[in-house]
Chain A
Amino acid sequence: DAGVTQSPTHLIKTRGQQVTLRCSPKSGHDTVSWYQQALGQGPQFIFQYYEEEERQRGNFPDRFSGHQFPNYSSELNVNALLLGDSALYLCASSLTSDYGYTFGSGTRLTVV
């Protein structure tokens, strides 16, 4: 079982650019959540996708958007990057009828 797969593992972008991060959920999981983890902080919820719809959203600006595909994989898009967007972006998958999330190893985004 490959678990949750995220790509790329590391990324360096310039302020103002746009970035797309990708996530393949654990086999059998239908729900994907995205979290942002700044250095020395706990993960913060960005949004959750289920049945290709955004089901819940955290306190993040509209610059953060996402998508879920029919195969349950997901993308996180961030526009107009700011230095403060530098963080580890974690994807977590789950089965909506069950508890517990499986996290990927994350994408380390650095904005310069």
Chain B
Amino acid sequence: QKEVEQDPGPLSVPEGAIVSLNCTYSNSAFQYFMWYRQYSRKGPELLMYTYSSGNKEDGRFTAQVDKSSKYISLFIRDSQPSDSATYLCAMSPYGGSQGNLIFGKGTKLSVKP
């Protein structure tokens, strides 16, 4: 079993839809959870960063962490064609820059106008 599992998709939705992206993990030591967005031919860009369990909202994006289920989610409201990208979950036992990140495979999202 891989440490982080993420459905690679692809996921295609109409503009304005609510998008739900998910990852599961097996290492209970993970405390810090991140979502990155990666456009084609670009490096990943940090979208959301959360510590431990709970919700965090930033504009149209909401990140949820359920440590009891080892499950994290990213919701995108009112999706736009510009949201079309690959979304990577990442996690680490350590905060700051002390430790390496463990990434999922990424989910490729396409938002159709």
Please report A residues at the B interface, Cβ cutoff 8 Å.
4, 31, 33, 40-45, 48, 50, 56, 58, 90, 92, 94-106
Contact = CB atoms under 8 A, between A and B. Distances in A.
B1 interface: no
B103 A43 contact: yes
Contacts of B43: 4, 90, 92, 103-106
A99 to B, nearest CB: 5
B32 interface: yes
B104 A98 contact: no
Looking at A44, A90, A103, which has the most chain B CB atoms within 10 Å of its CB?
A103
B41 interface: yes
Interface residues of B, number: 27
A70 B32 CA distance: 30
A105 B41 contact: yes
Given A33-B100, A94-B97, A40 B44 contact: no
16 contacts: A4-B43, A40-B106, A42-B4, A42-B103, A42-B104, A42-B106, A43-B88, A50-B97, A56-B100, A58-B100, A99-B95, A99-B96, A100-B49, A104-B43, A105-B42, A105-B43
B78 interface: no
Given A40-B8, A90-B44, A48 B100 contact: yes
B103 A44 contact: yes
A4 B44 CA distance: 12
CB-CB nearest 3 A-B residue pairs: A42-B103, A103-B43, A45-B100
A94 B36 CA distance: 15
B48 to A, nearest CB: 10
Given A90-B44, A99-B95, A42 B100 contact: no
